[in-house]
């Protein structure tokens, strides 16, 4: 029983680690702060769930399609990001988040609206149904490791240099011949694709999704993981995911009523963020945070 | 080599005419200084020639190609590099990485090669070697692994020059390359400008330091209130009383 619970927590850590790492590529390494990551997370979840429930599409194909749909959906945001950054970009990503949430809630014929999509089957890989929690942890851990390696690789070497230059001074990067709009578009697509993959893993894990899992609060939670762990650092977002998944779980053992615990969780996130900004703006294991 | 020229370039900001019909033809190579009082339109002109600003009217040509409305990265690809008054180095990147960043045509900057790295290791090795060569040229090879932001101001100026060179541009537009540096460093930068001229580059620089202008420039262009008021060899132009009057006001 306790083992099951611990494995469940680790699965959530793995899924949020994918989300945080994907956002770190965008916000930490490239300086494109977004509060729309839950929209891409939701797009991946809904795409994979719908393909599995209504079309009987295998998990690998459904999850890959979910990632692809999320990556394609990032194009309008990244086109805007070609011209904008800072506060204006945050507003654009917030608008995208609100639109995506609205579509998930109101396109009832497809998404089921508030009723959501029940009965999402557990994934099958190579003829093997992953219906045990330990099996799912291995799958999520594997995908999280892949996401980490992809982002680490992209953020080192020549491309990493360009992304850091865009973060520090986009005009200076352009003066050196770097097509900053194209780079931002690529990074948005990879980041959204990874978030979409996390969404597919989540949907097939919980077997039921509705829009409440993909709200702006979820986007803020993912961004908080990046900030608290350390933006633009290799392990920062993973550490952030561990802290912000496990910390609220500790509250369960304090014995507060569930309604109070939910509010307290928000209060806790906010307090941690304020304290981090005051005393360790670079995050727990980061070097510089979002500051230029 | 394609020559750079401006035809009747005009630019206004909030009703103030920063450039008022600038016509200029630069030689294919050599050192050209642009001087003039603050607000004369020098940096605006440089920004228009590099795609950072679009002219309200008029055109900038590189050879036969109209580059007036090209974005900065395309202008850089065509062989025009620039520096900024406020340096704009990537301060939290090492000195050698700043130079490597500027190298053109790096396959590893693409998503596919960035991820799978086919041949990128060899490219990086060659890139690093070339960058160290450029740092040796400006005398910064011993500081290669330090953060750019930790260099002295004068060394950062040298690094901006190295970064500009790393682009392999044939036209270098430098915004106040010796401003704020001590005389010894100014002398060093001036001699580098002459070296670049010998390498066949066109160096156009904005400067207030008249000693550097006299020592390096083949031609001086004087601007005031968005117009070219004089141009010619330094020995002739800097003797004209009207020039000093424009400077002093």
The model's pLDDT over A33-73, given as tens digits with 9 standing for 90+, comes to 999 999 999 999 999 999 999 999 999 999 999 999 999 99
Q: For residues B55 and B49, give the distance between their C-alpha atoms in angstroms, rounded to a whole number.
A: 9
- For residue B84, being part of any structural domain is answered with no
Checking if the pLDDT of A249 tops 70, the result is yes
CB contact under 8 A, A175 and B108: no
- For residue A158, being part of any structural domain is answered with yes
* pTM > 0.90: yes or no: yes
Beta carbons within 10 angstroms of residue B112's beta carbon? 12
pLDDT computed for residue A261 by the predictor? 75
pLDDT computed for residue B139 by the predictor? 95
Kindly report the nearest CA distance between residue B102 and chain A, in angstroms: 5
Q: For residues B12 and A153, give the distance between their C-alpha atoms in angstroms, rounded to a whole number.
A: 45
User: What tokens appear for A288 in the block?
Assistant: 């510089």
- For residue A256, being part of any structural domain is answered with no
Kindly report the nearest CA distance between residue A61 and chain B, in angstroms: 21
- Give the domain extent around B249: 1-79+169-249
Q: Pick the more confident residue, B27 or A85.
A: B27
User: What tokens appear for A90 in the block?
Assistant: 């945050």
- Give the domain extent around A143: 9-212
Q: Pick the more confident residue, A48 or A80.
A: A48
Beta carbons within 10 angstroms of residue A255's beta carbon? 7
- For residue A250, being part of any structural domain is answered with no
pLDDT computed for residue B46 by the predictor? 97
pLDDT computed for residue B99 by the predictor? 98
Q: For residues A280 and A258, give the distance between their C-alpha atoms in angstroms, rounded to a whole number.
A: 31
The model's pLDDT over A15-37, given as tens digits with 9 standing for 90+, comes to 999 999 999 999 999 999 999 99
pLDDT computed for residue B248 by the predictor? 58
Query: Do B173 and B74 fall into the same domain?
Result: yes
Find chain B residues with C-beta within 8 A of A231's C-beta. Answer: none
The residue among A260, A280, A252 whose CA lies nearest residue A9 is A252
CB contact under 8 A, A157 and B117: yes
Query: Do B205 and B141 fall into the same domain?
Result: no
Q: For residues B78 and A176, give the distance between their C-alpha atoms in angstroms, rounded to a whole number.
A: 11
Interface of B with A (CB under 8 A): 50, 52, 71-73, 76-77, 81-82, 84, 88-93, 97, 100-102, 104, 106-111, 113-115, 117, 120, 123-124, 127, 163, 167
CB-based contact A283:A227 (threshold 8 Å): yes
Dihedral sign (CA A204, A205, A210, A212): negative
User: What tokens appear for A104 in the block?
Assistant: 């998930």
Determine which of A171, A175, A190, A290 to mutate to test the interface with B (most B C-beta atoms within 10 Å). Answer: A175
pLDDT computed for residue B2 by the predictor? 64
Q: Classify residue B247 as exposed, middle or buried by CB count within 10 Å of its CB (0-12, 13-18, 19+).
A: middle
Residue in chain A nearest B123 by alpha carbon: A158
Q: For residues A146 and A203, give the distance between their C-alpha atoms in angstroms, rounded to a whole number.
A: 19
Instruction: Write down the ipTM of this complex.
Output: 0.94
Q: Classify residue B144 as exposed, middle or buried by CB count within 10 Å of its CB (0-12, 13-18, 19+).
A: middle
Least confident of A148-157, A226-235, A276-285, B143-152: A276-285
What's the Cα-to-Cα distance from A215 to each of A182, A212, B98, rounded to whole Å? 28, 6, 40
pLDDT computed for residue B249 by the predictor? 56
- For residue B38, being part of any structural domain is answered with yes
Q: Classify residue B86 as exposed, middle or buried by CB count within 10 Å of its CB (0-12, 13-18, 19+).
A: exposed
- For residue B143, being part of any structural domain is answered with yes
The residue among A47, A45, A67 whose CA lies nearest residue A55 is A47
pLDDT computed for residue A276 by the predictor? 85
Mean pLDDT score of chain A: 92
- For residue A241, being part of any structural domain is answered with no
pLDDT computed for residue A270 by the predictor? 83
The residue among B91, B63, B56 whose CA lies nearest residue B78 is B63
- For residue A63, being part of any structural domain is answered with yes
- For residue B142, being part of any structural domain is answered with yes
Average pLDDT of the residues in A98-111: 97
Angle at A34 between CA A28 and CA A37, to 5 degrees: 100
Query: Do B57 and B10 fall into the same domain?
Result: yes
Query: Do B73 and B187 fall into the same domain?
Result: yes
pLDDT computed for residue B89 by the predictor? 97
Residue matched to tokens 């980041």: A191
How many domains does one find in chain A? 1
CB-based contact B60:B6 (threshold 8 Å): yes
Q: Pick the more confident residue, A82 or B144.
A: B144
Query: Do B100 and B164 fall into the same domain?
Result: yes
Mean pLDDT score of chain B: 95
Please tell me which of the candidates B101, B113, B117 has its beta carbon nearest to residue A165: B101
Dihedral sign (CA B41, B46, B49, B53): negative
Query: Do B114 and B216 fall into the same domain?
Result: no
Q: For residues A174 and B117, give the distance between their C-alpha atoms in angstroms, rounded to a whole number.
A: 23
Query: Do B161 and B177 fall into the same domain?
Result: no
Find chain A residues with C-beta within 8 A of B113's C-beta. Answer: 159
CB contact under 8 A, B167 and A165: no
How many domains does one find in chain B? 2
- Given B168, B192, B225, which residue is the final one in a domain? B168
Residue matched to tokens 């060394």: B155
Q: Which residues between 178 and 207 in chain A have a beta carbon less than 8 angstroms from any beta carbon of chain B?
A: 178-180, 183, 186, 190
Least confident of A175-189, B101-115, B229-243: B229-243
Three-state secondary structure call for residue B66: strand
Q: What is the distance in angstroms between the CA of the first residue and the CA of the last residue of chain A? A: 47
HSE (side-chain half, CA atoms, 13 Å) at A231: 26
Please tell me which of the candidates A153, A161, A288 has its beta carbon nearest to residue B97: A161
Q: Pick the more confident residue, A46 or A1.
A: A46
pLDDT computed for residue A290 by the predictor? 62
Please tell me which of the candidates B81, B91, B104 has its beta carbon nearest to residue A168: B91
- Given B168, B191, B211, which residue is the final one in a domain? B168
Q: What percent of chain B has pLDDT over 70?
A: 98
The model's pLDDT over A125-139, given as tens digits with 9 standing for 90+, comes to 888 888 899 999 999
Average pLDDT of the residues in B48-67: 97
pLDDT computed for residue B76 by the predictor? 97
What's the Cα-to-Cα distance from A12 to each of A9, A129, A146, B9, rounded to whole Å? 5, 20, 16, 60
- For residue A231, being part of any structural domain is answered with no
- For residue B85, being part of any structural domain is answered with no
A291 part of contact set with chain B, CB < 8 Å: no
What's the Cα-to-Cα distance from A284 to each of A226, A241, B140, rounded to whole Å? 10, 12, 35
Three-state secondary structure call for residue B173: strand
Checking if the pLDDT of A292 tops 70, the result is no
- For residue B48, being part of any structural domain is answered with yes
The model's pLDDT over A218-235, given as tens digits with 9 standing for 90+, comes to 999 999 999 999 999 989
CB-based contact A40:A219 (threshold 8 Å): no
- Given B168, B184, B208, which residue is the final one in a domain? B168
Please, where are the H alpha helices in chain B? Answer: 42-49, 72-77, 95-102, 111-116, 120-138, 153-166, 183-198, 210-216, 234-237, 241-248
CATH no. for residue B209? 3.40.50.300
Query: Do B201 and B137 fall into the same domain?
Result: no
Dihedral sign (CA A178, A180, A181, A186): positive
The confidence band for B226, taking pLDDT boundaries of 50, 70 and 90, is very high
- For residue B124, being part of any structural domain is answered with yes
The model's pLDDT over B75-85, given as tens digits with 9 standing for 90+, comes to 999 999 999 99
The model's pLDDT over B161-202, given as tens digits with 9 standing for 90+, comes to 999 999 999 999 999 999 999 999 999 999 999 999 999 999
pLDDT computed for residue A289 by the predictor? 62
Q: For residues B246 and B249, give the distance between their C-alpha atoms in angstroms, rounded to a whole number.
A: 5
Sequence-distant (≥ 6) Cβ neighbours of residue B59 within 8 angstroms: B6, B7, B8, B9, B66, B68
For strands B4-13 and A128-129, give the pairing.
Answer: unpaired
The residue among B3, B22, B130 whose CA lies nearest residue B79 is B3
Find chain B residues with C-beta within 8 A of A165's C-beta. Answer: 90, 93, 101
- For residue A282, being part of any structural domain is answered with no
Checking if the pLDDT of B1 tops 60, the result is no
């Amino acid at each position: 029983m306790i083992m099951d619970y611990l494995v469940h927590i680790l699965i959530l850590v793995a899924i949020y680690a994918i989300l945080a790492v994907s956002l770190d590529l965008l916000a930490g390494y490239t300086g494109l702060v977004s509060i729309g990551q839950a929209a891409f997370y939701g797009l991946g979840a809904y795409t994979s769930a719908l393909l599995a429930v209504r079309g009987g599409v295998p998990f690998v194909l459904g999850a890959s399609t979910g990632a692809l749909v999320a990556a394609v959906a990032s194009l309008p945001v990244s086109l805007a990001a070609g011209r904008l950054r800072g506060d204006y970009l945050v507003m654009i990503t917030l608008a995208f988040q609100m639109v995506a949430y609205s579509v998930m809630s109101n396109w009832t014929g497809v998404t089921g609206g508030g009723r959501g999509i029940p009965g999402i089957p557990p994934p099958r890989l190579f003829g093997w149904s992953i219906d045990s929690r330990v099996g799912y942890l291995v799958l999520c851990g594997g995908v999280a490791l892949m996401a980490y390696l992809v982002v680490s690789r992209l953020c080192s070497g020549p491309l990493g240099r360009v992304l850091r230059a865009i973060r520090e001074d986009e005009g200076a990067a352009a003066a050196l011949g770097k097509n900053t709009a194209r780079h931002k578009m690529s990074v948005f697509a990879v980041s959204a694709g990874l978030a979409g993959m996390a969404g597919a893993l989540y949907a097939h894990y919980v077997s039921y999704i509705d829009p409440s899992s993909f709200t702006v609060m979820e986007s803020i939670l993912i961004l908080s993981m990046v900030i608290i762990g350390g933006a633009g650092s290799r392990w920062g977002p993973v550490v952030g995911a561990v802290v912000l998944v496990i910390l609220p779980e500790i509250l369960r053992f304090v014995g507060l009523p569930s309604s109070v615990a939910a509010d307290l969780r928000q209060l806790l996130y906010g307090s941690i963020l304020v304290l981090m900004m005051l005393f360790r703006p670079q995050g727990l294991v980061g070097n510089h945070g979002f500051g230029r | 080599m394609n020559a750079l020229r401006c035809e009747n370039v005009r630019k206004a900001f909030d009703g103030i005419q920063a450039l008022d019909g600038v016509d200029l033809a630069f030689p294919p190579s050599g050192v050209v200084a642009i001087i003039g009082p603050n607000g004369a339109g020098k940096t605006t002109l440089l920004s228009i020639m590099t795609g950072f600003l679009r002219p309200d009217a008029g055109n900038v040509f590189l050879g036969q190609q109209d580059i007036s409305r090209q974005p900065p990265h395309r202008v850089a690809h065509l062989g025009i590099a620039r520096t900024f008054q406020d340096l704009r180095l990537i301060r939290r990147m090492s000195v050698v990485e700043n130079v490597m960043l500027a190298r053109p045509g790096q396959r590893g900057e693409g998503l596919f090669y960035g991820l799978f790295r086919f041949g990128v290791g060899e490219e990086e090795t060659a890139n690093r070697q070339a960058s160290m060569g450029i740092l040796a040229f400006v005398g910064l090879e011993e500081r290669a692994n330090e953060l750019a932001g930790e260099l002295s101001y004068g060394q950062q100026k040298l690094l901006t020059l190295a970064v500009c060179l790393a682009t392999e541009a044939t036209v270098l537009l430098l915004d106040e390359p010796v401003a704020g540096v001590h005389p010894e460093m100014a002398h060093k930068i001036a001699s580098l400008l002459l070296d670049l001229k010998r390498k066949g580059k066109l160096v156009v620089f904005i400067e207030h330091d008249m000693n550097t202008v006299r020592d390096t420039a083949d031609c001086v262009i004087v601007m005031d209130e968005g117009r070219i008021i004089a141009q010619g060899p330094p020995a002739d132009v800097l003797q004209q009383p009207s020039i000093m009057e424009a400077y002093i006001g």
